[in-house]
Structure 1
């Protein structure tokens, strides 16, 4: 029993010596064996290279280098040649260039696709906002039109005033002296028909 107690005490002591993992603090970074790189910087570099590979300048430079390579290895003395007739080293260099160019171009295309997705999502949200604004304005204009249907317009007022003017002119032209009210009623100041 004393052995068990001593064993438990030793285990507790080991637990105390081990550092506790705290979740509220960042973990200590472990050393890495692989080199670290910034993916954004690498992506920007790959886009620059892919843009250069897609230009006429690259094709011209590549053609000049290949022609110079072939002319050098055909025309100079044998001891100065570094790649003889089947041009195996030239083929190796062109294969190496192609093996690096293809992944760089694909990486640049993937980055462009990601940017296009973000732009497409922003355009879609902007279109949704524009549609919502247009629908709101359409409802407001319809409400204003409905409200204006009950309001006396300038043209309606003009026509009413012109009718009253004609009626006054007709009365003066008749001149028979009979008195006619323009606004018939019971003589009270108010009217039983409400104004609009």
Structure 2
């Protein structure tokens, strides 16, 4: 039994499973899901279905795609939907992960801002107390005037 060392990379293991890059696949699924959610896709699908129905309804029997053309159309649309749903879910999961990370960063920034606000509030309160202990110009004038009134006149 070999002990896995953390300071060395693992040996590559041969596997019959196909290898794919999850990040590249995720980006591709997001692009597909983004396209599936556009009006352009709806228009393309509508035109495709209308052409399919028009061709198979109006063309001579020997030029149609299949003896049961609408069943094949239903099969194709079902196949498209069976791939679209998981791709959309994968794209939503990736967006949820990004939102979760963004939420955590926003929460940390909010905590730092709150700590900064509390610190500045304490500093402002300290400055107010310090200013309250300082002699103002009016106070000095009144004290000098009182002192001059109390002092005996020396001639």
**Class of the TM-score when normalised by the shorter of the 2 chains:** 0.7 to 0.9
1:58 aligns with 2:48: no
Please state which structure has a larger fraction of its residues in helix: 2
Shift of 1:35: 1.5
**Larger RCO of the pair (alpha carbons < 8 Å, separation 6+):** 2
Shift of 1:153: 1.7
1:81 aligns with 2:48: no
Query: What is the rounded CA distance, in whole Å, between the counterparts of 2:93 and 2:103 in structure 1?
Result: 15
1:31 counterpart SS class: coil
Change in Cα spacing, 1:22 to 1:118, as seen in structure 2 (3 Å) is closer
Among 120, 123, 132, which residue is 2:103 paired with?
120
Shift of 1:138: 0.4
1:154 aligns with 2:137: yes
Alignment TM-score, normalising by the size of structure 1: 0.69
Query: What is the rounded CA distance, in whole Å, between the counterparts of 1:138 and 1:22 in structure 2?
Result: 53
Runs of 4+ in 1 over 4 A off after TM superposition: none
For each residue in 1:108-157, what CA deviation from the matched residue of structure 2 results, as whole angstroms up to 9, or x when unmatched?
Answer: 00000000000000000000000000000000111111111110123434
| Aligned length in residues | 150
1:184 aligns with 2:151: yes
1:141 aligns with 2:108: no
Aligned partner of 2:28 in structure 1 is 45
Query: What is the rounded CA distance, in whole Å, between the counterparts of 1:25 and 1:137 in structure 2?
Result: 49
Aligned partner of 2:76 in structure 1 is 93
Query: What is the rounded CA distance, in whole Å, between the counterparts of 1:84 and 1:48 in structure 2?
Result: 36
Aligned partner of 1:129 in structure 2 is 112
Structure 2 residue ranges without an equivalent (≥5): none
Shift of 1:25: 3.5
Q: Which is greater in Rg?
A: 1
**Pairwise CA RMSD of aligned residues?**
2.4
Range with greater deviation from structure 2 (27-36 or 60-69): 27-36
Structure 1 residue ranges without an equivalent (≥5): 1-19, 168-180, 188-196
